[in-house]
Amino acid sequence: MNLRNFHTPLTEAEVDEIYQLFTPKQRQYMDAFTKRSKKSKWLEVLALKKGIIVTEDMDTEQLAEAVDDWVLVEILDGGRGNRPFRCECGMSLRYQYIVTHKKQNKTYKLGETCLENYTHLTSEIIRDIRKGFHRIHLERDELLLKIYRGEKTDIKEFAGIEIPPSYLVQIEHDIPLLDKQLKKLHDQLHAKRMEELQKQHQAERERLKEIFYQSRQHRVSKSYTAPYYSYHSSPKTHSHLCISYEELIERHLNELKQIRAKEELIPAGLRKDWDIIQDIVRAAKRREKFDYSRFKRTGNTKLYKN
Ligand SMILES: [Zn+2]
């Protein structure tokens, strides 16, 4: 058999040939698949034309009710080389379309060419329905070829995502999934993985933020007990906080002089601060390490404002 691509449907002979290889279970599913697809395609085309919104939870009955027009009940197939059915016009048929109109309480059994005449569905609708049937045949053939090649769908591959029940029924009948069905599942799988990855990254970011925050807290609390460490470890404030005795005097001589001049006026509560400042100045003079930020803190807040 010449196995071409899915752009044209298989010939009748090819379909028959592959059908011979099927188990009864597979054959039953494939027959039902084609019939069901055609019925719902018919309704879909009419619904679309009439602006009816088709939701997934609508069953065929509800949709037929909403469409309120000629709907397809059944397509009978007399088999290759046979014409056992008859159209309303008298012509003998292999394929017979049974269509019904609930409100008009009418049912017709027609050949494809008479569909338009009897139902008065527009030629545009009939054309769209035919196009839809063609696509259904392509899908049927895709499945036939997949089965012919022994392709199987491994459902385990899609663990963790929601698989539509109709897909499961298909797989239960030993029918592999169509490429478009597989793509839908792969897309879902991909989206789920991306979501998980994003969650992972988010958690990682939170963790890093926590570590950063903790280490900063640690530094802050350290600088409380050891101020010297803080400005000597921070390059940014180094030049500002680590100054010489000469610089200290140059910057603060006037203030120091002013305080000294009114030394006896310093209130009792601030005398200790003045002692601290003098100790720092003396330490600086001795070229010892001194706490300049403490010098500024003590002076700025209290003494200089006196
Ligand atoms: Zn006819």
Report CA(198)–ligand 1 centroid distance (Å). Answer: 61
Q: What is the whole-number distance in angstroms between the Cα of residue 99 and the centre of ligand 1?
A: 13
- Ion ligand 1: residues, CB within 5 A, are 87, 89, 91, 111, 114
Helix (H) or strand (E) holding 2: none
Which of 125, 156, 187 is where one domain is finished? 156
C-alpha 44/C-alpha 50 separation (Å) is: 10
pLDDT classification of 247: cutoffs 50, 70, 90? confident
Nearest to 18 by CA among 2, 39, 7: 2
* Whether 235 and 301 share a structural domain: yes
Query: How many angstroms is it from 94 CA to the middle of ligand 1?
Result: 12
CA of 84 to the centre of ligand 1 (A): 14
Number of domains in the chain: 2
Same domain? 146 vs 258: no
Higher-pLDDT residue of 55 and 153 is: 153
How many whole angstroms from 85 Cα to the centroid of ligand 1? 11
Cα 75 to ligand 1 centroid, rounded to whole Å: 14
Q: Which long-range contacts (CB under 8 A, 24 or more apart) does 94-101 make?
A: 97/72, 98/72, 98/73, 98/74, 99/70, 99/71, 99/72, 99/73, 100/70, 100/71, 100/73, 101/69, 101/70, 101/71
Question: Would 226 be classed as within a structural domain?
Answer: yes
102 lies in the same domain as 215? no
The residue range of the domain holding 249 is 200-305
Query: What does the alpha-carbon distance between residue 131 and residue 122 come to, in Å, rounded to a whole number?
Result: 14
Percent of the chain with pLDDT over 70: 87
Contact yes or no for 67/41 (Cβ under 8 A): no
User: For residues 75 and 39, what is the distance between their CA atoms, to the nearest angstrom?
Assistant: 9
Residues 23 and 117 both lie in one domain: yes
Domain's final residue, options 124, 141, 156: 156
Question: Confidence class of residue 90 from pLDDT cuts 50, 70 and 90?
Answer: very high
Domain presence at residue 173: no
Do 22 and 142 lie in one domain? The reply is yes
Q: Residue 114 C-alpha to ligand 1 middle, in angstroms?
A: 4
Of 81-85, 120-124, 220-224, 257-261, which gets the smallest average pLDDT? Answer: 220-224
Which among 88, 122, 156 is the end of a domain? Answer: 156
- Would you say the pTM of this structure is higher than 0.85? no
Q: Is residue 291 part of a domain?
A: yes
pLDDT at 69: 94
The span from the CA of 269 to the CA of 279, in Å, is 17
Give the distance (Å) from ligand 1 centre to CA of residue 109.
9
Asked if the structure places residue 285 within a domain, the reply is yes
The answer to whether residues 218 and 86 belong to one domain is no
